[in-house]
Amino acid sequence: MGKVFVIVEQKNGALRKATYEVLGAGRQFADQLGAEFAAVIAGQNVGGLVDEVASYGPDKIFVADDEKLANYTTGAYSDVIGKILLKEQPDYVLLSHTAVGKDLAPRLAQKLEAGLASDCTAAVVEAGELVLTKPIYAGKAFATVKSGGGTMLATFRPNALGSFTPAGSKNPEVVQVPVEIDPEALRVLIREIVEKATGRVELTEAEIIISGGRGMKGPENFAMLEEIADILGAAVGASRAAVDSGWREHSDQVGQTGKTVSPILYIAVGISGAIQHLAGMGSSKVIVAINKAPEANIFKVADFGIVGDLFQVLPVLKEELQKVVGK
Amino acid sequence: MNIVVLIKQTFDTEAKIQLTGDGKVSDQGVNLIINPYDEFAVEEAIRIKEAKGGEVTIVSMGGDKAQEAIRQALAMGADKAVLISDPALAEVDHYVAAKVLAKALEGMEYDLILTGWVAIDDQSAQVPGRLAEILGLPQANVVTKLELEDGKAVCHREGDGAVEVLEVPLPAVITAQKGLNEPRYPSLKGIMQAKKKELKKVTLQDLGLSAEEAKAKIVGYQLPEARQAGKVVEGEPADTVRQLVEFLTKEAKVI
Amino acid sequence: MPGPLDYRLSDEQLALQKMAREFARQEISPVALKMDEEEELDPFLIKRLAEYGLQSLNTPVEYGGSGLDAVGICIVLEELAKGCASVAVTSAATALAAYPLLLAGSDEQKKRFLPPIGEGGGLASFCLTEAEAGSDAASITSTAVRYGREYVINGTKAFVSNGGSAEFYLVFASTDRSKKAKGISAFVVPRGTPGLRFGKKLRKMGIRAADTREIILEEVKVPVNNLVGREGQGFVLAMEALDLARPGVGAMSIGIAQAAFEAALNYARERRQFGKPIGDFQTIQNMLADMIMKVEAGRHLVFQAACKLEQGLPFTKEAAMAKAFASDVAMEVTTQAVQVLGGYGFIRDYPVEKYMRDAKIMQIFEGTNQIQRLVIAKQLFA
């Protein structure tokens, strides 16, 4: 019987949103493959997460609980999780393509001498194996990837798999894994973790994103986007032009040399729609564009466009959304 | 401080992607550049060299065309380069690529390996982590600030919604994110001098390796379905916004 | 077997082109309209230009320059002019002023004067033209009289590029008026020399950011070792320097024309009238085809002249053809680009009208196109 493993991601004792997707998908793939489904939770004081993870129906849950795992570090996490995987030899290991997932997966893959398809946006089970689809060239094309024979890892872009209702607990066997970390793996020290206090959802995980470009004319005008973001529970993004002008941080940039996002709703404000930007947000489910230039590229991909002066449109939009959302 | 910088030549970000008759990604008429994230790594290495001395070695894998990217890095101020070029490497996965690079690094003296956190072509972000694993080195991934202290690097790593300040003992693999620096252009003098710098070409055989099976196989490429342009309205904001909100709530049902 | 002519640029030339193109796109273009409007070069940009060696193209590396050959200079100047002609002219004028030193200066003079304009980031000025001596350069009235270890220079120079901001002024003055052209000598007058004064910056139609003005020399004393070459060699040096620089003027013209063509092409793709992009209309297609045809022809003349120069072959006729043809093309193509953009071409929010204004000077300075035709004809009947 094959094995599908999901590496659960938690932060400060709470599951990351993206993890639910991978857990939901993992159960589904395991059923289709006729495989056993297991989840791995690593961290400190993570026992409280077992029930929640169990609700997604894994047959087995491995728990590695240790103070050395309090915060994510590449060395400690890859050492502990790597040992579990080396012993279990799963067929598939699934992670989220988050900051942690994309850091951890390559090291695990190399420990297992395994293949890895990263940043996948879709996967199906065909003829008894998992066929993964991942964007390349920032979504200007897609590659279909399969295992070359042995274990295969995959990381999934948040929001890409869709939401899953928990399958219900199967009263999984919970295996407490003894944590013995190779001292070599503990060489990197965390000096400090500076949380960004925007109070808003992380760009790559957001279901709604409102982004501003050159048309915003200056950093001060992004406040208008932030107000709308707060009404919608959205994240605020930016085009490269806005970032290069120093109006927004690099971490806010959406596009080929920034973040690739696939929210349910993407609102582009004052963004002309350079090919690099379209590449970064083209997989959004619904795209709205507000731009004063009717010939702007962004209108070619937008599901709904308003040709108009954003400085006139945004205040009205804020008011209308407030009415609808009722905040 | 001796630094190895791994670079990859990629399509220009403006490139339009087309498939060839047999379903591969076509490189016809495409401009090639240094992967922008690798360019940050090159710049960082040169800055460190300028401040602390030492030597910057560029290592790349690719066809003959990749020499252009390497020359650019040399023109920016790197000292020498190795290009691993072999027909057997035309379609390797990241497992094989990391093994080949690790082998090429054998015998080189370095305190630091710098590279971009991701390549904009396959956007896999795998090779640095895999290489660090093979070499048994610590890593700091997606770094926006790098400072060297005695025997260690202090790195600002971009997490999700947070910045982690890491102390990484050297040697280590450190990957660059946008924001780390603003890469220079090669100066005209640099371009003229680059021709004279050492660029060593090696094959798999030179490295004592033979072609290896990929662990992940790409079985096909597809182009995304073109998005259809939707409704575009113009007029008084009161009216256009009302239509938009109606679209979002009733038609698209995303709010 | 006769093989094909090699029309490809070498890897190194491609690298130069790529670098200059990126620099122009990222650093020059974004400030070009602002500089034009304010009639002032951005000092930070000029500093960056020097930092990357774009300010001393022809000066050999040992004197702190970039040491490019004629083809390399043309490649770079074309790209700079695509970004902004004023910036390209600033660099080209510095190169022009360096040529007499490179041709006839002593090693000591080169070491003294050239590094400040290369590594130092300074500009240089070529001071030949006077109010009454333009095309007829031999009739200059500025004088230099030797008193012991010094020359005392008097005169007024007109239309001096980099006039107010140069590290040194390469001044042509007569040491013997009776000998006419053969009495003209070349001198280096460093910035800050007493008696060297600047007129007001000229308010121009094009290349408005470039610093062009009158230079007044009143009892300016320079040591005898600031004489470049021999007494009476000045006119020949001036003509040789202008000859050497001429392909570069052609290259700048092509840069302006190429920029205008690209702007027109992009506009034709995006602007919709009668329900389709205007580029779908044959009228517009014909205009664009004519434009690029001429730009390419001009570029080939420029490279031909630069190659002959570099190969030590006679190139005077070719340089004159390149300069005159390319600048005529620039004028024509930029005018057509304005036409393609229609009303938008005529307003200053778009760069195209600037290209048209900038192109005009290329037909006038460094030998008017009428003079170039005389030069060509003279070679024909020689």
> Measured between CA atoms, how close is C280 to chain A, in angstroms?
16
Query: Cβ contact (<8 Å) for C15 and B72?
Result: yes
Set of chain B residues whose Cβ sits within 8 Å of the Cβ of C59: none
> Measured between CA atoms, how close is C16 to chain B, in angstroms?
7
Number of domains in chain C: 3
**Which residue, C196, C191, C14, is CA-closest to C120?**
C191
Neighbours of B205 (CB within 10 A): 10
pLDDT of residue A98: 94
Q: For residue B175, is it within any domain?
A: yes
Of B121, B125, B254, the CB nearest to A118: B125
Which stretches does DSSP call E strand in A137-281?
141-147, 152-156, 173-176, 189-195, 208-212, 235-238, 265-269
Segments forming the whole domain that contains residue B38: 3-202
Set of chain A residues whose Cβ sits within 8 Å of the Cβ of C272: 295
Residue C276 sits in the same domain as residue C296: yes
> Measured between CA atoms, how close is C200 to chain B, in angstroms?
34
Q: Is the peptide bond before C190 cis (omega within 30 degrees of 0)?
A: no
Strand order in the sheet with B216-222: A122-126, A129-136, A141-147, B216-222
pLDDT interval class at C1 (50, 70, 90): low
Q: For residue C1, is it within any domain?
A: no
HSE-up of residue B12 (Cα within 13 Å, Cβ side): 11
- Integer-rounded Cα Rg, in Å, for chain C is 21
Judge if ipTM > 0.85.
yes
Q: For residue C329, is it within any domain?
A: yes
Set of chain A residues whose Cβ sits within 8 Å of the Cβ of B141: 74, 102-103
Please give the CATH architecture assigned to the domain spanning A203-326.
3-Layer(aba) Sandwich (3.40)
Chain pair A-C, CB pairs under 8 angstroms: 3
Determine which of B241, B245, B253 to mutate to test the interface with A (most A C-beta atoms within 10 Å).
B241
Lookup: tokens for C59: 């000066």
Determine which of A245, A295, A298, A299 to mutate to test the interface with C (most C C-beta atoms within 10 Å).
A295
Instruction: For chain A, positions 270-299, list CB contacts with chain C under 8 A.
Output: 295
Residue C172 sits in the same domain as residue C146: yes
Set of chain C residues whose Cβ sits within 8 Å of the Cβ of B187: 19, 51-53, 66
CA distance C325 to C302: 9
* Residue C167: Cβ-neighbour burial (10 angstroms; 0-12, 13-18, 19+): buried
CA distance B114 to B128: 9
Determine which of B34, B74, B191, B232 to mutate to test the interface with C (most C C-beta atoms within 10 Å).
B191
Set of chain C residues whose Cβ sits within 8 Å of the Cβ of B67: 11
Q: List chains touching B (3+ CB pairs under 8 A).
A: A, C
Q: Burial code of A245-269, b = ≥16 C-beta within 10 A, e = fewer?
A: bebbebbbbbbbbbbbbbbbbbbbb
pLDDT of residue A48: 94
CA distance A257 to A240: 8
Q: Is the peptide bond before B171 cis (omega within 30 degrees of 0)?
A: yes
Lookup: tokens for B161: 């919604």
Determine which of C27, C270, C350 to mutate to test the interface with A (most A C-beta atoms within 10 Å).
C270
Set of chain A residues whose Cβ sits within 8 Å of the Cβ of C349: none
Query: Cβ contact (<8 Å) for C19 and B186?
Result: yes
pLDDT, average across residues B225-247: 91
Query: Nearest-CA residue of chain A relative to C267?
Result: A295
Domain closes at, from C76, C92, C117: C117
Distance of CA B245 to the CA centre of its chain: 41
pLDDT of residue A204: 86
Please give the CATH topology (third level) of the domain spanning A3-186: Rossmann fold (3.40.50)
pLDDT of residue A138: 86
Q: For residue C29, is it within any domain?
A: yes
> Measured between CA atoms, how close is A294 to chain C, in angstroms?
10
Number of domains in chain B: 1
Lookup: tokens for C178: 């009776």
Chain pair B-C, CB pairs under 8 angstroms: 49
Helices (H) and strands (E) in chain A, counts: 8, 18
Average per-residue pLDDT for chain C: 95
Query: Cβ contact (<8 Å) for B94 and A116?
Result: yes
> Measured between CA atoms, how close is C12 to chain B, in angstroms?
7
| Interface check B211 vs A, CB under 8 A | no
Domain closes at, from C230, C265, C290: C230
CA distance A2 to A18: 24
pLDDT over 80 at C105, yes or no: yes
Domain closes at, from C196, C215, C230: C230
Instruction: For chain B, positions 119-178, list CB contacts with chain A under 8 A.
Output: 120-130, 132-134, 136, 138-142, 144, 154, 158-169, 177-178
Residue C244 sits in the same domain as residue C367: yes
Q: How many residues does chain C have?
A: 382
Query: Cβ contact (<8 Å) for A257 and B136?
Result: no
Set of chain B residues whose Cβ sits within 8 Å of the Cβ of C67: 189, 192
Segments forming the whole domain that contains residue C105: 11-117
Q: How many residues does chain A have?
A: 327
Of B67, B68, B189, the CB nearest to C61: B189
Set of chain C residues whose Cβ sits within 8 Å of the Cβ of A295: 270-272
CA distance A308 to B233: 9
| Interface check B225 vs A, CB under 8 A | no
Query: Nearest-CA residue of chain A relative to B37?
Result: A257
Q: Do domains A3-186 and A203-326 have the same CATH topology?
A: yes
Domain boundaries, chain A: 3-186, 203-326
Q: Give the CATH number, domain containing residue C138.
A: 2.40.110.10
C205 backbone dihedrals φ, ψ, rounded to 5°: -75, -45
> Measured between CA atoms, how close is B196 to chain A, in angstroms?
32
Query: Cβ contact (<8 Å) for B188 and C51?
Result: no
Query: Cβ contact (<8 Å) for B138 and A75?
Result: yes
**Which residue, B8, B37, B4, is CA-closest to B181?**
B37
Of C11, C16, C22, the CB nearest to B188: C16
What's the sign of the alpha-carbon dihedral A64, A68, A74, A79?
Answer: negative
Of B134, B159, B216, the CB nearest to A110: B134
Average per-residue pLDDT for chain B: 95
pLDDT of residue C68: 96
Q: Give the CATH number, domain containing residue B30.
A: 3.40.50.620
Neighbours of B193 (CB within 10 A): 15
Cross-strand partners of B147: B154
Q: Which residue has the higher pLDDT, A249 or C75?
A: C75
- Helical (H) or strand (E) element with C219: strand C212-223
Set of chain A residues whose Cβ sits within 8 Å of the Cβ of B130: 106-107, 109-110
Q: Cβ distance A177 to A63 under 8 Å?
A: yes
Query: Nearest-CA residue of chain C relative to A245?
Result: C30
Q: Token pair 């490019």 is at which residue? A: C68
Q: Burial code of B108-136, b = ≥16 C-beta within 10 A, e = fewer?
A: eebbbbbbbbbbbbbbbbbbbbbbbbbbe
Query: Cβ contact (<8 Å) for A119 and B123?
Result: yes
Query: Cβ contact (<8 Å) for B195 and C67?
Result: no
Q: Give the CATH number, domain containing residue C100.
A: 1.10.540.10
| Interface check B60 vs C, CB under 8 A | no
Residue C133 sits in the same domain as residue C174: yes
Query: Nearest-CA residue of chain C relative to A244?
Result: C26
Of C11, C54, C61, the CB nearest to B71: C11
Determine which of B33, B95, B142, B222 to mutate to test the interface with A (most A C-beta atoms within 10 Å).
B95
**Which residue, B133, B136, B137, B154, is CA-closest to B145?**
B154
Active site residues of C: 366
| Interface check B213 vs A, CB under 8 A | yes
> Measured between CA atoms, how close is C270 to chain A, in angstroms?
6
> Measured between CA atoms, how close is B80 to chain A, in angstroms?
27
Question: A222-232 and A310-321 helices cross at what angle (nearest 10)?
Answer: 20
> Measured between CA atoms, how close is C46 to chain B, in angstroms?
14
What's the sign of the alpha-carbon dihedral C126, C131, C136, C139?
Answer: negative
Q: Cβ distance C54 to C77 under 8 Å?
A: no
pLDDT over 60 at C340, yes or no: yes
| Interface check A192 vs C, CB under 8 A | no
Cross-strand partners of B174: B114, B140
Walk along chain A (327 residues) in steps of 10 and give the mean pLDDT of each run. 95 90 96 97 95 96 96 96 98 96 98 96 96 93 95 95 88 96 93 84 90 96 96 95 92 89 94 91 93 90 95 95 83
Set of chain A residues whose Cβ sits within 8 Å of the Cβ of C270: 295
